[in-house]
Structure 1
């Protein structure tokens, strides 16, 4: 390959980085839109919370401290992790959930696209936030394992899914609150 070819490749790579950086700079605004859409889809996916499930309410205790670090990048890492866990939970045995399948697909697709975008931004800034990412990852893993175990213990029945859906709504609302505070 000649020098001109190498320069062209360099220009393409640097313009891709600039585009990626621009997308990452507007991430909080994009996240708010995705979260608002996800909350709308969560509501639309199912009906009102079933009365028979009220006595089965469960407190999973979301580790809110993972969304309160000093650096915006650490918050983005935690949000990416949360979206991955929510996507995983909502990709499991959903046969008893009695939700609108089309809306569920839209919810999953929105999460997946946001995960892809967040991963690209997080990889860009990964080196400086490895340690806080590990601590957040462990706390979030424990939180989502509780939800996963709850679903398994209840054999993925209707009430366990409705309780999990309500919990995911709380997570998304907390992320929405945090992203509104983030400044570009």
Structure 2
């Protein structure tokens, strides 16, 4: 917990100083997770070949999100929650024990930085940090998904295999085509119904 608080304090100090900004800077091609964060997660996940019995379907609510997110701001708000939940997952004491500290700190800083950028995009898009654009249900579904991941880790006693499975899992939702479609929507688009 002390690690999380010190990291948040340092990042908060950086973001409120003249050098930090909340401007909108989505990754290129409307990719929801920056290339740097994907690369860090890829470096962290070593082969899970010997962890086949630990694999689990965490049931990311992609279909529900596809039907629920009709505005770009809604997609950005849900994506912001996904980044935050991923950041929190890798800020636990158990994750500190499981990973190379240099890679872990880079990932934490990268996820937080991307979350801050997305927060700035939401302010630009809606004029407020968290818009009330019917995102409560999709955001709650994302929180339940990450709660399931935390319970899985706890049930597996935060084993190396469990962390390998989770590291593979958390990249999957960011790779779904829903984000390219939803984040590239223009104002007034309703998206493609399914």
TM-score where L is the length of structure 1:
0.75
CA distance in 1, matches of 2:96, 2:130: 42
> Corresponding residue for 2:3?
none
Aligned length: 159
Please report how far the alpha carbon of residue 32 of structure 1 lies from its aligned counterpart in structure 2 after TM superposition.
2.6
> Pairwise CA RMSD of aligned residues?
2.6
> Corresponding residue for 2:100?
100
Query: In the TM superposition, what whole-angstrom CA distance separates every residue of 1:82-116 from its partner, at most 9, and x where no partner exists?
Result: 0000001111112552x332122111111100111
Please report how far the alpha carbon of residue 153 of structure 1 lies from its aligned counterpart in structure 2 after TM superposition.
1.3
> Corresponding residue for 2:143?
141
Judged with a 3 Å threshold, the aligned counterparts in structure 2 of structure 1 residues 113 and 152 are, in CA distance, closer, same or farther, namely same
Kindly indicate whether the alpha-carbon contact (under 8 Å) linking 1:151 and 1:160 is maintained by their aligned counterparts in 2.
Answer: yes
TM-score where L is the length of structure 2:
0.71
More deviation, 134-143/88-97: 88-97
> Corresponding residue for 1:27?
26
Kindly indicate whether the alpha-carbon contact (under 8 Å) linking 1:67 and 1:75 is maintained by their aligned counterparts in 2.
Answer: no
Helix, strand or coil at the partner of 1:27:
coil
> Corresponding residue for 1:16?
none
The structure having more radius of gyration, on CA atoms, is 1
